[in-house]
Structure 1
Amino acid sequence: MKRLSALIVTGLLTIGLASGCSSGAETQELVLETKHAAMPDYVLNSSPIVQETYLMAANYPEVLASVPCYCNCNASAGHMNNLDCFVKDMGPDHAVNEWDPHGIA
């Protein structure tokens, strides 16, 4: 009887540990909302990480706008923050009207 109890406890602990090791976090696919201009070919033909970065710029513009640009593109392109490297023109409703190719450089 002790052996059966030990096997059951061991089995339950193994199942508990195995289920606890899964992250439980589901990845969320980023989607370009219809209010934004279509992604240009230079983004669509780039790596998945570049495409994801442009999507992040569209979905979270306030985050990129809060990060200053340190690549000196403010002098050459007039950029004031990281959002400017990806978005050339954004409307008042945070809709991307025009993309900027600087983000793939």
Structure 2
Amino acid sequence: MKRVLGCLAAALLTVGAYAQFGPASDVPAYHPAAPSAAMPPLMHGTQLSGEYFTHGYQVTSYKMAASVERVLWQEPCYCRCDRGMGHKSLHSCFEVTHGAACSTCMKEAAYTYQETKKGRSPAQIRDAIERGEWELVDLDTIKM
């Protein structure tokens, strides 16, 4: 009986440990609608200097993020920072230096900016991000 209970416990722990990687968690955290209250501020101005901002595309991605921050609020971030850092959406990445250290965040922000300028809705952009279209962004060529 002890052996059966031990095997059952081991099986349940294994299933529980691997469940986080299954299809139920395939889309990272995001807000489904525009913010109804003030959002946390994004880094800006003189904050965009120092060791995290040695490349022009790092500063440009933060400026792009600032110009579409209400849309960023509604987008997931596929670097999975929601799991390891508790981020709530792509917006969270640009509240701190994380966005400048992560090519995924910068590419998604640039993609969001570009698609917003084309007139796409946050939901349309989110669908495209989920399909991986942000991966085609070349950070060396992004411009506002």
Q: Bigger radius of gyration, 1 or 2? A: 1
The structure whose residues are more often helix, as a share, is 2
Q: TM-score range by the shorter chain?
A: 0.3 to 0.5
TM-score after normalising by structure 1? 0.46
Which protein has the bigger strand share? 1
